A and B are shown apart, each in its own frame.
Chain A
Amino acid sequence: MKAEVKDVSLRGKVALVTGAAAGIGRGVAIELARQGARVAINDVDRADAAHITLQMVREASADGGIIQADVAQPEQVQAMVEEVVRRLGRIDILVNNAAIQPNLGLMDYDDAWFDHVMSVNLLGYLNCIQAVVPVMKGQRQGRIVCMSSVHAKRPTDFDTVYAMSKGGIKMLVRESAIELAQYGITVNMIEPGAVQVGRKIGNPRPIVPPDRVTEESRRRGARKFPLGRVGVPSDIGHIVCFLASDEAEFITGAAIRADGGSMLL
């Protein structure tokens, strides 16, 4: 007897991906589109880049649209969700991805930056969850995937409040998972390690100061990744597709670390 072969298809589903103009968000939008989902591409201010993401989504023969909103503003998030429902009919998948990382150390942060990072990274995720829950409740089904980080576990040593926001997201996911399970909504997180993305907001990530890059430091850097490479956005997109699929219906409140094994070294 032949086993039934079933692919991971998201045909007919609608996904909303925040911060999808570039980087991991773009990679997630493209992979969702390749599985057949229609994708609402959110970003706050990178309109040109968002159009490129939309083009790539369409090349994957899926429909989609761009919805500008600042996830830190609850009213804008509410309006965004209403517009997605108006334009695409429903929301099956929310991917909370929009985040900032100013790369400030403990002593370099000020009040305003603390509030800003928390507003976007942590409260922004909450705003989006609060806005989509009524829609998903109505559908008796939903998938929420939150981009966390290996830095919800391991400190960064270069951005204190970023790590604090990821620690908060860990608990937001766990609390949401047990509270929203009754509506058929699952909530999970992915913990990416280093992923090749475009420019981030803020200072460049100070891995090694340029004047201290030596043959030895290069060798050490390469040895931080057991699989021999850093991540690419599609690595993360594949996991989102799985978590968003019908096959993942029993998984909630879980974290999948995707870092090529680097956290183990």
Chain B
Amino acid sequence: MTNRRVALISDASQAFGIATAKRLAQEGVTLVLNGPPGPSEQVVANLAQTLQDEGHEVLVATSDLGDTETVASLCNDVVTRYGRIDLYVHTHNRIDRGAVASLPHVLVRDALNFNAKTAFLCTQVLGRQMAKQGAGCMVYVGSIHGEKPTGCAFSYALAQGALQMLCKEAALELGRLGVRVNLIAMGPVEGDDQQFYSDISDLYLDYQYKVPSATLGTADDVAEAVAWMASDAAKYLNGAIIRLDGGFLLHYMDHKMKR
């Protein structure tokens, strides 16, 4: 049993997850760092080692969070060890390129399951635990592509659209039980012009300059937002979808870009 807050990061191998882990560690949060099976595991192990060397309490998990039993087993491990779980940070974020007309059904399902079903299952299982405690918080790190189509990775957008509705539904049901659920709709970071290159949409053409400040976001921006959303300072925030993109989605007039 610990008096410190306990947080589970669903995929701590990705930039957003790594930055969030480091940020929460600064606040003395006990961390459960999950890495989906595969190459992610080593990245998470290294991150855990670094944080442990700095004196932080870290538990490593390698769960695919793919079905109820798997998630329940991880939840059980965490509660057995620490007696509680206070925060779930959903950082699963996999972008598969493919066209609506031709991407095989099974790959669309994979993308949906990886990006959104994991969040659904964790919200159910961890939500039950948090409800028992009478308090808790969930933050989903989502994307502006829950609103804006990509023109190159539609399965990702589908999952992001579903994740937004999960946030709103869970905010109602879990809100009555003391649990807040919010979503960060993250905008472009360095390299997204490659990830989201599209023959159809010029959204990412000159993307840096479409942000009014001409400065792209970083994983640290995500981490700061997660830390705030998870804190008591945000106790009235529930079911919110916060667009964290520096104003990128508002862009319209190319000739007015700051460059």
**B112 with A106: CB separation less than 8 A:** no
Main secondary structure of the interface of A (DSSP, over half): helix
Q: Complex formed: what's the CA distance from A82 to B102 in Å?
A: 17
Q: Are B105 and A123 in contact (CB under 8 A)?
A: yes
A145-182 residues with Cβ-Cβ distance < 8 A to B are 151-152, 154-157, 160-161, 163-172, 174-180, 182
Give the complex CA separation of A55 and B159 in angstroms.
39
B161-A167 in contact (CB<8A): yes
Contacts of A155 in B (CB 8 A): 165, 168-169, 171-172, 239
Check if A110 is an interface residue, CB within 8 A of chain B: yes
Q: Which residues of A contact B168 (CB under 8 A)?
A: 154-155, 163
Q: Does A133 contact B (CB under 8 A)?
A: yes
A164 and B154 form a contact (CB under 8 A): no
Given A106-B170, A122-B112: A151 and B165 interface contact (C-beta under 8 Å): yes
By the criterion CB–CB under 8 Å, are B99 and A167 in contact?
no
Interface size on B, residues (CB 8 A): 45
Determine if A130 is an interface residue (Cβ-Cβ < 8 Å): yes
Least Cβ distance of A240 to chain B in Å?
Answer: 21
Which one of B84-92, B121-129, B249-257 is at the A interface? Answer: B121-129
How long is the Cα–Cα vector from A170 to B149 in the complex, in angstroms? 10
State whether the Cβ of A74 lies closer than 8 Å to any Cβ in chain B: yes
Asked if A129 is at the interface of the complex by the 8 Å CB criterion, the answer is yes
Beta-carbon contact of A178 and B102 below 8 Å: no
**A118 within 8 Å of B (CB atoms):** yes
> B164: CB under 8 A from chain A?
yes
B47 contacts A by Cβ under 8 Å: no
B116 within 8 A of A: yes
CB distance from B126 to the nearest CB of A (A): 12
Which A residues touch B190, using CB under 8 A? none
Contacts A167-B146, A175-B151; A157 near B166 (Cβ below 8 A): no
- CA of A52 to CA of B20, assembled, Å: 58
Query: Helix, strand, loop or mixed for chain B's interface?
Result: helix
By a CB distance below 8 angstroms, the chain B residues around A161 are 120
Q: Are B108 and A160 in contact (CB under 8 A)?
A: no
* A179-B109 Cα distance, complex, nearest whole Å: 20
Tell me the nearest residue of chain B to A185, going by C-beta. Answer: B101
Among A109, A126, A175, A177: residue with most chain B CB under 10 A: A175
Partner of B161, one of A110, A130, A170, A179: A170
A130-B101, A165-B162, A175-B150 given as contacts; is B169 within 8 A of A156 (CB)?
A: yes
Whether, in the assembled complex, B67 has its beta carbon less than 8 Å from a beta carbon of chain A, the answer is yes
From residue B65, how far is it (CB to closest CB) to chain A in Å?
Answer: 12
Assuming the contacts A106-B174, A126-B105, A155-B169, asked whether A111 and B68 have C-beta atoms less than 8 A apart, the reply is yes
Q: List 24 A-B contacts (CB under 8 A).
A: A74-B105, A106-B169, A107-B124, A107-B127, A118-B109, A123-B108, A126-B105, A130-B102, A151-B165, A155-B172, A160-B120, A161-B120, A163-B165, A164-B165, A164-B169, A167-B146, A168-B116, A171-B149, A175-B151, A175-B157, A175-B158, A176-B100, A179-B154, A179-B200
13 extra interface residue pairs, beta carbon distance < 8 Å, beyond A175-B157, A179-B154? A114-B120, A123-B108, A126-B108, A155-B169, A157-B169, A160-B169, A168-B112, A171-B149, A171-B160, A171-B161, A174-B149, A178-B151, A182-B200
- Sorted nearest first, the 4 A-B pairs with minimum C-beta distance are A167-B165, A171-B161, A175-B154, A164-B162
